[in-house]
Amino acid sequence: MRIPITLAFVASSVSWSSRVYAATVATDVAVGVDATVSTDSASAGSASSIFGSYFLSESIVGHDFYNHFNWENISDPTHGRVVYVDEKTSVQHNLTYAKYNSFVLRTDNKAILDPDGPGRESVRIITKKSYTTHVAVFDVRHMPQGCGTWPAIWSTTAPPDPSWPNGGEVDIVEGVNDQGPNAATLHTTTGCTMPETRPQLGTPGQNDCDWLVNYNTGCTVKMSGPNTYGPSFNANGGGWFVTERTGDHISVWFWQRNDPKVPFDVKYGSPITTPRTWGKPQAFFPNTNCDFKKFFAPHHIIINLTLCGDWAGQADVYASSGCPSTCLDYVNNNPAAFSNAYFDFASVRIYQPTPFLHNRGHHSTF
């Protein structure tokens, strides 16, 4: 079904000046863009080409995180030295807390652990809604740092899902043991690959996204420029990580806090955002040799902090980071070392191709 959109309808659906919207429409009509919205799922690849813009559907700030996310009280699938606690426990133990413009998620930094007992308390949260075509803007002031840390902002199908990686995985922020730069990665089943050369700022690593290749390395792009991860990211006041997913591509951008080129709509959380005006992303994953309809289902966004585990805890990975002792011994016996092992979010903002999709169920129909 195709629904014509008039200026009056859309302007009334978005709490912003209709003059700004009119300028957006005028620009796109001038270049011949069809001013209609399709709710047919086959339109996934053309979602951002409607006006080249997305509309704010969720603005998650401070205490809003408690309404938009569920706490996953589960065993760590990556076998980290953590216990993921429920929401009540996270609040009681000060592992999550919020104020009007900040949400903090952290690991415990007080207990000395029994080597034969449970791991260090930590937190893993997942969005209540799932998303297909969308833009997500993560305004992050601080990310977890320290030896043994493995923080991540990523998306996948609703867990627990024993069929993973059916439905795919998109890693937006991920690294271990303070070792930058940040890496954006796709993980899929067999049959999804990326071209070696593509329009992006980052440096590609492996181009086969198949989780069975090279111990689930995935198709990775390491971000260029300074301050994309770890202590240098934090010392610089953080920055913005942004992902766009369509039926044609998945893109990830990063701007550090003091970057004069950060787009206005990203920096200030505008009700309308237009990724096509932002320039090359750090990571660009096209569907050229990867059928997104086959490999990527609707995704939930996950934010978590684990310690050691299948990546950060690998003996060679941990040792090459210059970290002391072994990962498990360090995590067990040095609680104060995790004083800086926390996320501080200024906001998470979700944009969708039309201003009314967030009233149509749990995920967009594009």
The DSSP secondary-structure symbol of 5 reads -
Angle at 290 between CA 216 and CA 35, to 5 degrees: 130
The dihedral over CA atoms of 257, 143, 345, 182, expressed in degrees to the nearest 10, equals 60
3-state secondary structure of 238: coil
- For the question of residue 121 being annotated catalytic, the response is no
Between the CA of residue 341 and those of 8, 47, 178, what are the distances in Å?
Answer: 48, 38, 10
The one catalytic residue in 58, 121, 174, 244 is 174
Residue 328 CA to residue 332 CA, distance in Å, equals 6
Kindly state the tokens that stand for 9: 């309808």
Residue 132 CA to residue 43 CA, distance in Å, equals 12
Please report how many Cα atoms fall inside a 13 Å half-sphere around the Cα of residue 15, on the Cβ side: 4
Residue 58 CA to residue 349 CA, distance in Å, equals 6
The one catalytic residue in 87, 169, 196, 244 is 169
Residue 14 CA to residue 241 CA, distance in Å, equals 24
DSSP line for 71-107: E--S--TT--SEEE--HHHHHHTTSEEEETTEEEEE-
Cβ neighbours, 10 Å, residue 212: 10
Kindly state the tokens that stand for 14: 């978005």
CB 172 within 8 A of CB 127: no
User: Could you identify the residue written with the tokens 């992902």?
Assistant: 243
Q: In 3D, which of 44, 43, 42, 46 has the Cα closest to residue 33?
A: 46
Active-site amino acid positions: 169, 174
